[in-house]
Structure 1
Amino acid sequence: MVAVGNKLIEVNNLKKYFKTKRGMLHAVDDLSFHIDKGETLGLVGESGCGKSTTGRVLIRLLEATAGQVLMDGEDVLSASGKRLANLRTKMQMVFQDPYSCLNPRMTVSELISEPLEVNNRYTGKTERPARIRELMDIVGLATRLTNAYPHELDGGRRQRVGIARALALNPEFIVQDEPVSALDVCIQAQILNLMKNLQKELGLTYLFISHDLSVVKHVSDRIAVMYLGSMVELTDYRSIFKNPLHPYTQALLSAIPIAKVDVDRDRILLEGDVPSPIEPPAGCRFAGRCRFRQERCTVETPELRQMEPGRWVACHYAGQLEERRA
């Protein structure tokens, strides 16, 4: 577990809206959180909740609508020129699809070398080839694959190339956008173990984005749950699995399969559909699907409030749900 209070990433009131013909789409709406150095923060929620958009905005693959993102105290969103270029080398991303993110016309060595060329790193005649071999060794790619093309590799090896590219400039912070969702289960375990080992060896900090809570549980120090662009719960992984406080988190956890035939779990089936992010409902965005909703929920937006040290929940009745269920 990482030391508490040693913040690397600090996000304040982050917003990202997209203009559409029907109006403004609220992809990310007023997120605030931090990630400590050496920590993995898991970001979970169903498809379309704004997880991937959040990760892309943090490293400025997308420009924010409003808010602040600090890295080691430097404002990422207001940086420009050389200052922004320097910050970009410290922040990298591992993408979901290990095939579409690689140029099919480039070999493995060329793909790994590209960030070094763009940033004019390891310029000596022997330095760059040595760095490429080092990165391939770090991520477990055989030397014989140096001149292979992406179509000649399986999904696991393609993702290792993506990880090597992300590590090329010695970053401090890596956004992992569902990095194993497109891989077979056995390959998923290999990639997850690789990323955990790299974190220990290189002191990396991760934002791990996924819809799979069973995966997030094994890689995260803390877990943040998103719903329709907003954060509804944030705490350490033990607390969120032992005693989830938000009704949406409870529903997500109830859907995790159990690999035992003699164990039953009470499924919480959510009614209705996810509201439109173009016209978010007043009050709590989850109210229309919540089994505990009251009139207050439909008119008053709940703030993300601290229930106990390190535990934040956006629910008017958090802490009272067990009593009300009884």
Structure 2
Amino acid sequence: MKTTQETTPYIEVRGLKKYFSTKRGTLHAVDDVDLFINRGETLGLVGESGCGKSTLGRCLIRLLEPTAGEIRVNAEDGKGTDITGLGKAKMKEMRKKLQIVFQDPYASLNPRLPVWELIAEPLRVNRVCKSKEDMQKRIRYLMDVVGLAERLENTYPHELDGGRRQRIGVARALALEPEFIVLDEPVSALDVCIQAQILNLLHRLQKEFSYTYLFISHDLSVVKHVSDRIAVMYLGKIVETGEYRELFRKPLHPYTQALLSAIPVAKLNVAREQILLEGDVPSPVNPPPGCRFMPRCHYAQEICSRELPKLREHEPQHFVACHFTGNLQPKTK
């Protein structure tokens, strides 16, 4: 996606936590995350299934209420508005700026409503249009923007393919003229050729309207294509962030190195050494102290089991949470 964006943070997250109470104990889905997303850029968020990516994305727009921490919007001045403290009325107004496109374009749409009604729903709830004529004009404009033919306005979701359903989801997200959009694995449920169409659509929209994106995915090849910066998440923690070229050229965290080694190379006679992760993933329920990645890390030492590494700037704009960054040595036996 590679946009030319301002280097000023639109969203800044400090100490964000989201815990869930379970029968086994407290599940640490998102645990003390610090993050920023610059205005007009795409931040790719990657990690294994269950690491907390979607939970983090939903906390950023308060679809889920954070357990603790700050989420500051319009943070260019270093302050911004902490939306975690907003009441229902103010949050409803703020929510117009913060939207989401869900992973499953069928499950996220009401199957009993046609395309016209699905796109009209956010406009009607927020009383955006003053008349039926304004409503119809706005809906047809949104359909045109996302590439939906006017003849489909009375069609139901089950009559459409996955790509068109996802275009409806994008149109709904754009209806209130947002500034920030969480893209929660928006192409993972689509065929490869349809994925490319949706990614190109999102790129065109960002270029035209200067949207700020959080792009959540487990597909590193897609993330590399669409992102300006990338954040790597493991078991509720951000373990590395950096500009996409730098992170792919020189991954610093052992987990990032393992992820990148798993990307297939589409070239004959080109070998890549794959890093196989051994050991068990720690439970997110009452996790042990120390580094969450320690049981699977080839470089773990005694300090890793007792002291949690902090996210530090190792190189300009390249942050990593590892005790041995730049000096990785295989663990002693």
**What TM-score results when the alignment is normalised by the length of structure 1?**
0.97
CA–CA separation in structure 2 for the residues paired with 1:303 and 1:2: 30
Alignment check: 8 A CA contact 1:222 1:234 kept: yes
Find the aligned partners of 1:216 and 1:199 in 2 and give their Cα distance. 16
Q: Name the structure 2 match of 1:57.
A: 59
Q: Partners in 2 of 1:82 and 1:279 — Cα distance?
A: 35
Query: CA shift at 1:274, angstroms?
Result: 1.1
Distance 1:176 1:245 in 2: 26
Q: Which residue does the alignment assign to 1:171?
A: 178
Percent sequence identity over matched residues?
65
Match of 1:48 in 2: 50
Shift, 1:127, TM fit:
0.7
- Structure 1 residues 3-12 or 66-75, which shifts more? 3-12
**DSSP 3-state at the match of 1:272:** coil
1:15 aligns with 2:25: no
Contact 1:37–1:205 (8 Å) recurs in 2: yes
d(CA) in 1 for partners of 2:245, 2:58: 27
Work out whether 1:185 is the aligned partner of 2:192.
Answer: yes
Paired position in structure 2 for 1:320:
327
Deviation (angstroms), 1:3: 4.3
Give 1:284's aligned amino acid. Answer: C
Counterpart selection for 1:27 from 26, 29, 40: 29
How far apart, CA to CA, are the structure 2 residues paired with 1:3 and 1:324? 40
Gaps of 5+ in 2: 75-79
Residue 138 in structure 1 maps to residue 140 in structure 2: no
Please name the residue that 2:119 is paired with: 112
Q: How far is the alpha carbon of 1:216 from its aligned partner?
A: 0.3
Query: Counterparts of 1:38-117 in structure 2 under 5 Å?
Result: 38-72=40-74, 73-117=80-124
Q: List, as ranges, runs of 4+ consecutive aligned residues in structure 1 with deviation greater than 6 Å.
A: none
| 2:276 paired residue number | 269
Alignment match, 2:261? 254
Please tell me whether the aligned partners of residues 298 and 330 of structure 2 are also in contact (alpha carbons under 8 angstroms): no
Return the offset for 1:279: 2.5
Separation in structure 2 between the aligned mates of residue 251 and residue 50 of structure 1, nearest angstrom: 19
**Aligned equivalents of 1:261, 1:97: Cα separation in 2:** 35
- What is the identity, as a one-letter code, of the residue corresponding to 1:276? S
**Structure 1 residues 113-122 or 254-263, which shifts more?**
254-263
By how many angstroms is 1:4 displaced?
Answer: 5.0
Distance (Å, rounded) in 2 between the aligned partners of 1:96 and 1:123: 32
1:12-43 CA-to-partner distances (Å, cap 9, x unmatched) read: 00000000001000000000011111010000
Q: Matched residue of 1:303: which SS?
A: coil
Match 1:216 to one of 210, 213, 223: 223
Give, in whole Å, the separation in 1 of the partners of 2:188 and 2:279: 26
Deviation per CA, 1:73-118: give whole Å up to 9, x if none.
1111111133111110000000000000000000000000000000
Q: Does the aligned pair in 2 maintain the 1:2–1:36 contact within 8 Å?
A: no
Whether 2:318 is the aligned partner of 1:311: answer yes
Cα deviation, residue 122, structure 1: 1.3
Q: After superposition, what is the alpha-carbon deviation per residue over 1:292-314, rounded to whole angstroms, capped at 9, x for unaligned? A: 11111111110001112101000
8 A contact 1:93–1:176 mirrored in 2: yes
Q: Is the 8 A contact 2:6 2:40 kept in 1?
A: no
Q: Give the deviation of 1:67 after TM superposition.
A: 0.2
Q: CA deviation at 1:260?
A: 1.7
Contact kept, 8 Å, 1:254 with 1:265, in 2: the verdict is yes
Counterpart CA distance in 2 for 1:111 and 1:273 is 44
Instruction: Structure 1 unaligned segments of length 5 or more: list them.
Output: none
Question: What's the RMSD between the two structures over aligned residues?
Answer: 1.1
In the other structure, the counterpart of 1:205 is 212
AA aligned to 1:49 is C
Deviation at 1:2, TM superposition (A): 3.9
Classify the secondary structure of the residue corresponding to 2:158: helix
* Between 272-281 and 211-220, the greater mean CA deviation after superposition: 272-281
Count of aligned residue pairs for this structure pair = 324
For the structure 1 residues 320 and 187, does the alpha-carbon distance in structure 2 shift closer, same or farther, using more than 3 Å as the test?
same
Cα distance in 2 between the residues matched to 1:275 and 1:125: 55
Distance in 1 between residues matched to 2:14 and 2:4, nearest whole Å: 22
1:36 maps to which of 31, 38, 44: 38
